Amino acid sequence: MKIRLISIFFILFFIFFTIVVISDDIARVDIEPEKDVVGFNKSFDVDVVCYPNAEIKAFEFEIFFDSNILQANSVTEGNIFNAYDTFFNSGDIDNINGTITKIYDLTLGRNTINHIGTFVTINFTTKDISGSSYIDFNKLGVTNTHEYITIYSNNARIDVNTHAVEKSMWNIDSIQIICFVMLFTAIIYSLAMSFF
């Protein structure tokens, strides 16, 4: 009986220890904004943002997108490793197959970080075709000083159509509306005073 209790104790301890280790070594990586509507032939940026729950040192990934809808222009290093010297590769853009491969970055030496930050910013241009393109991760990996950690990720979707263009053409902000109302009120007041 005593041996059985000791065995159960060690099994429970091992399970608890394993859960704790896994929960400590995780990170979430999102493409932001997750959804957007963009007009024809417009440039826009998406950020690859990391929310770590562990010390991280390096990352790598590929990006897939619909090359009939989008054209990738550039990949720029983000701010997550700003405090340290890094070895950054912006990747290889293939606008025929809709891929960006070999994107990676790592801090030099044994430096690590554990705060929210941007891995990269990717600039795209839409084509003059209505449709939707997902911007998807492939082969996403994030490491600490000695191993890959558990990753949860969210991809993005870009809708391309003329409604986004029409919206921007007719976009009037609140300050313009207030100024228009004040001007209209002043004109009406002046006209009313001229009759008295």
Q: Each residue of 20-46: pLDDT tens digit?
A: 344 357 999 999 999 999 999 999 999
Return the pLDDT at 19. 36
* Residues 192, 112 share a domain: no
Asked whether residue 92 falls in the same domain as residue 128, the answer is yes
Are 85 and 50 in a shared domain? yes
The per-residue pLDDT for range 60-101, each reduced to its tens digit, is 999 999 999 999 999 999 999 999 999 999 999 999 999 999
Instruction: For residue 69, give the CATH number of its domain.
Output: 2.60.40.680
Indicate whether 71 and 133 sit together in one domain: yes
Percent of the chain past pLDDT 90, that is, above it, reads 67
Q: How far apart are CA 53 and CA 23, in angstroms?
A: 8
Q: Flag whether 17 is in a domain.
A: no
Q: Are 54 and 136 members of one domain?
A: yes
CA distance 53 to 145: 14
pLDDT for 38 equals 96
Taking 90 as the threshold, does the pLDDT of residue 18 lie above it?
no
> pTM value?
0.72
**Of the listed ranges 8-17, 112-121, 146-155, 159-168, the one predicted with least confidence:** 8-17
Number of domains in the chain: 2
What is the domain extent for residue 186? 163-196
CA distance 100 to 129: 21
Q: Is residue 19 a part of any domain in this protein?
A: no
83 and 154, same structural domain? yes
Clarify whether residues 116 and 176 are in a common domain. Answer: no
